[in-house]
Amino acid sequence: MLLDHDPAHAFMPYPGVELPHATHAPLTGLTFAAKDLFDVAGYPTSGGNPHVLALSGIKTRTAPTVQRLLDAGARLVGKTITDELAFSMNGINAHFGAPRNGAAPERISGGSSSGSASAVSNDLVDFALGTDTGGSVRAPASHCGLIGLRPTHARISLEACMDLCPSYDTCGFFARDIDTFERVGAVLLGEDRAPLASPRLLLPSDGWGLLEADVADAFAPALARVEALFGPFRATEMAPTGFDRHYWAFRYVQGREAWQTDGALIEQHGLVLGPGVRERFAWSKAVTDEQFEDAWGARREVTAHLTELLGSDGVMVLPTMPDIAPRLDTSEADLEKYRNDSIKLLCLAGLSGFPQLSLPMVTRHGAPLGLSLLGPAGSDRALIAMARRILEAA
């Protein structure tokens, strides 16, 4: 770690390695951090687990996405804490601790990209890399008052990055301001294959209906701002066959792939897993072929529905999370309930592979809450351009 100190407990306590980076390049002058799933030459990769750290050794190769940022002039400060094996949304690692939420220190940062969101929200770096499988960029972005993108699936390389669920895993990133976010997006995303010349706004009544009334009311000014810029909302549904089908399709596919990815590692080395993560992997091991096949069929249905609904110009506007971040002293049972409630909002992008961008638009009880834009596959930079207009209209 190349910081003098880490007041947010955002970084893994590795000795700092100064990596060469370009000068006079698009990201020159910016600092960044990488979630400790990405291999970086001179560092180990822990995946948030001490057994995996012990097995890692020092890497000799840097993940292509990290290298791309170095080649664009950004300076890597260090590697950030991740929730264990990236299978959590709480931001509380039983082995390495809980990174501090810079926007609401008494509340969880959200995971599994907890350290990356913490480093940015505490102003320790300009931007940070995370990964998003089930919400691991979008959730901490909402909790920590950041801009955060889950990109179109496979748009940003995850080579030399630890997998969790390959058909859901994406590489996302955080920043505090839209200027930095847009600069990083230009480097990592390239050009859109589905630009949105004139976005058509869709408001899913069933998604908004998942919120408590006082939470939904807090979004009213933000929604009015979006509508004033881009025209009236058109009412729609995000889950016409019901949220339970979406939820279980997501869970069964994620569970089967997570166990295929990490099950042998867990059993061969007797990994000691923290609360919540341990139970999720045990549940994942028990997913049957029938459950997985039915879930994959439901996933195809969801993707077909969303493809038709969005077309080439539709943007769905929805809450990123069902509420502000839970407090740090929330029980494990209540955190698990919050996670499961959140999946109903978060799973649409994962099931379809479409991009979703969370914006820091709302404050409730002094804590931030994100508003999301979900667009067609390949519209990532167009969503960022929409975000600029929205945020600058504040």
Active site residues: 35, 112, 136
Q: CB of 136 within 8 A of CB of 111?
A: yes
